[in-house]
């Protein structure tokens, strides 16, 4: 299992942004130091494909708190090094208070159903009910890495909006939010990346099912366990995050 000092196997990450893994040593004055050599004084960054923003939902006080008052934007980052800098300095999921959430979304997308980029979408989700037996910190880390590493979908799918973990009394819930529910968005943008314009329902469903399968693999769930996909609109109408599943994997 990963530790904070040794986050993951980094052999696939180049020493320099240009991908040069040669044995040639830089001049002393140009020594390239990543966050993995010195977490405070690194001078090399490995850029991510997208910028990402970490959000936190603090527990309600019980005094009629507004959702917008509970949802806090933490930080936006766009490199591998910055991600680890953030991750190593926030509380682990297992130590969060009940009714807390972490949300990791692409920059410019609020983790809300009503956001213009989310309102036609949905999410894959899974609940871990035996909290004491679940390595939630490791699983949430792997979900975040899959998101920022662009491995939850194929290139050009343009579905992934963000990932979320909910801490509740009886369970942990992990979710992956998508732009659509498998069909074109009315008035959607150009190409598959924005709203699936011109994408058939069958193609849209195939893309979502593929994301669900990848999500299930990241969570290391056995074959008999099921992850569910539901639309945000259905969830809003039912007044619950547990709307009837459109798809299951």
CATH number of the domain where residue 146 is located: 3.30.760.10
Claim to verify: residue 30 and residue 124 sit in the same structural domain = no
What tokens appear for 14 in the block?
């180049």
Tell me whether residue 222 is in a domain: yes
Expressed in angstroms, the distance from the first to the final Cα of the chain is 26
Tell me whether residue 145 is in a domain: yes
What's residue 7's pLDDT? Answer: 41
What's residue 166's pLDDT? Answer: 98
pTM above 0.85, yes or no: no
Claim to verify: residue 26 and residue 84 sit in the same structural domain = no
Q: What percent of the chain has pLDDT over 70?
A: 77
Q: Domain count of the chain?
A: 2
Claim to verify: residue 194 and residue 240 sit in the same structural domain = yes
Tell me whether residue 2 is in a domain: no
Tell me whether residue 118 is in a domain: yes
Claim to verify: residue 67 and residue 172 sit in the same structural domain = yes
Claim to verify: residue 114 and residue 170 sit in the same structural domain = yes
Tell me whether residue 159 is in a domain: yes
Claim to verify: residue 29 and residue 64 sit in the same structural domain = no
Residue keyed to tokens 């979304």: 105
Rounded distance, CA 35 to CA 42, Å? 5
The phi and psi torsions of 9 (rounded to 5 degrees) equal -70, 120
Range of the domain at 230: 48-248
What tokens appear for 203 in the block?
């193609």
Instruction: Look at 243 and 208; give whichever has higher pLDDT.
Output: 208
Q: At residue 12, does pLDDT exceed 60? A: no
Tell me whether residue 1 is in a domain: no
23-69 per-position pLDDT tens digit: 444 444 467 777 667 766 777 789 999 999 999 999 988 777 787 88
Claim to verify: residue 231 and residue 186 sit in the same structural domain = yes
Rounded distance, CA 93 to CA 100, Å? 9
Claim to verify: residue 209 and residue 237 sit in the same structural domain = yes
Q: Is 56 exposed, middle or buried (0-12, 13-18, 19+ CB in 10 A)?
A: middle
166-213 per-position pLDDT tens digit: 999 999 999 999 999 987 776 654 444 445 667 889 999 999 999 999
Q: What are the b/e assignments for 201-230, b being 16+ CB within 10 Å?
A: eebbbebbbbbbebbbebbebeeeeebbbb
Claim to verify: residue 78 and residue 24 sit in the same structural domain = no
Beta-strand (E) ranges in 20-99? 47-57, 71-79
- Residue 180 CB contacts under 8 Å (≥ 6 apart), including other chains: 120, 121, 122, 159, 195, 196, 204, 208
Tell me whether residue 210 is in a domain: yes
110-134 per-position pLDDT tens digit: 999 999 999 999 999 999 999 999 9
Claim to verify: residue 209 and residue 138 sit in the same structural domain = yes
Tell me whether residue 147 is in a domain: yes
Rounded distance, CA 1 to CA 135, Å? 10
Claim to verify: residue 75 and residue 13 sit in the same structural domain = no
228-231 and 247-248: which strand pairing? antiparallel
Claim to verify: residue 115 and residue 84 sit in the same structural domain = yes
């Amino acid at each position: 299992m990963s530790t904070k000092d040794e986050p993951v196997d980094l052999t696939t990450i180049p020493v320099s942004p240009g991908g040069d893994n040669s044995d040639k040593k830089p001049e002393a004055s140009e020594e390239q130091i990543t966050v993995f050599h010195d977490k405070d004084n690194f001078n090399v960054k490995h850029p991510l494909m997208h910028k990402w923003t970490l959000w936190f939902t603090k527990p309600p006080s019980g005094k009629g708190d507004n959702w917008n008052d509970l949802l806090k934007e933490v930080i936006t980052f766009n490199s591998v090094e910055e991600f680890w800098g953030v991750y190593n300095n926030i509380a682990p999921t297992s130590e969060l208070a009940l009714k807390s959430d972490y949300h990791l979304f692409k920059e410019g997308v609020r983790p809300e159903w009503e956001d213009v980029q989310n309102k036609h979408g949905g999410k894959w989700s899974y609940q871990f009910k035996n909290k004491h037996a679940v390595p939630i910190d490791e699983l949430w880390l792997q979900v975040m890495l899959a998101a920022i590493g662009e491995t939850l979908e194929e290139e050009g799918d343009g579905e992934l909006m963000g990932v979320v973990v909910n801490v509740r009394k009886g369970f942990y819930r992990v979710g992956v939010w998508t732009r659509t529910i498998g069909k074109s968005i009315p008035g959607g943008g150009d190409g598959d990346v924005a709203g699936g314009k011109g994408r058939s329902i069958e193609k849209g469903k195939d893309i979502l099912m593929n994301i669900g399968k990848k999500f299930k693999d990241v969570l290391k769930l056995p074959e008999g366990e099921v992850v569910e996909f539901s639309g945000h609109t259905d969830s809003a109408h039912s007044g619950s995050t547990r709307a009837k599943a459109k798809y299951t994997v």
